[in-house]
Amino acid sequence: MKLKAFIIISFITFFSCKKEETNIPVKLEGKAFGTTFHVTYFDEKQQDFTKEIDSLFNAINKSLSTYIADSDISKINKGDSTILVDDYFIEVYEKSKRIYEETNGIFDPTIGVLVNAWGFGPVKADINPDSAKVKELLQLVGFDKVLLQDRKISKISDGVYFDFNAIAKGYAVDIAGRFLEDRSIENYIVEIGGEIRT
């Protein structure tokens, strides 16, 4: 009986240890979007997706970051109407437009020209805009002043300036979450600068 009990306990201990091993979380971290990111997930195969996650974030940055001079959004903001935007840009553009309409313009990613005027954007302006200047700049604000067609952005004026920074990090968190879910990883947390998805 003692031997049988010992064998049973040994099996239970062995399988418990194996289960604990598979429950060791995979932790990834790095820098993106001017801040840090942390990705933690449980995967029996203990797969390391550092390169894939970095690649995703770099692609989103290259599309949407106003702080990268040669990003698609920066080129568009400078008046280049030949840029063919990628799926990341299109998805964020369409989501932003929907929110713009639902909030009656309270949320407006074309506010970038004012963000720059006040010195909070990538384009530093040596001005402290008065009410007259603000009124002038507001003529360049509004999603009704831009159009996405055939992957190209057209603007009523070159001065219209996109700034998706308010939702870019949250969007990147969603993309990373989708990436993990597509690989059957259900237990995870993705965090970028305070934006979280689980």
CATH 1.10.3980.10 residue ranges in the chain? Answer: 71-163
pTM of the prediction?
0.83
CA pair distance 14, 43, nearest whole angstrom: 20
Whether the predicted pLDDT of 79 surpasses 90? yes
Q: Report how far residue 71's alpha carbon sits from residue 30's, in angstroms, rounded to the nearest whole number.
A: 21
Helix (H), strand (E) at residue 93:
helix 87-102
pLDDT digits (tens, 9 = 90+) for 94-103: 999 999 999 9
50 or 127, which is more confident: 50
**Angle at CA 80, nearest 5°, toward 165 and 126?**
60
Per residue in 124-136, pLDDT (tens digit) is 776 778 889 899 9
Contact between 64 and 71 (Cβ < 8 Å): yes
Residue 142 CB coordination number (10 Å): 15
- CATH second-level architecture of 71-163? Orthogonal Bundle (1.10)
Residues facing 36 on adjacent strands: 31
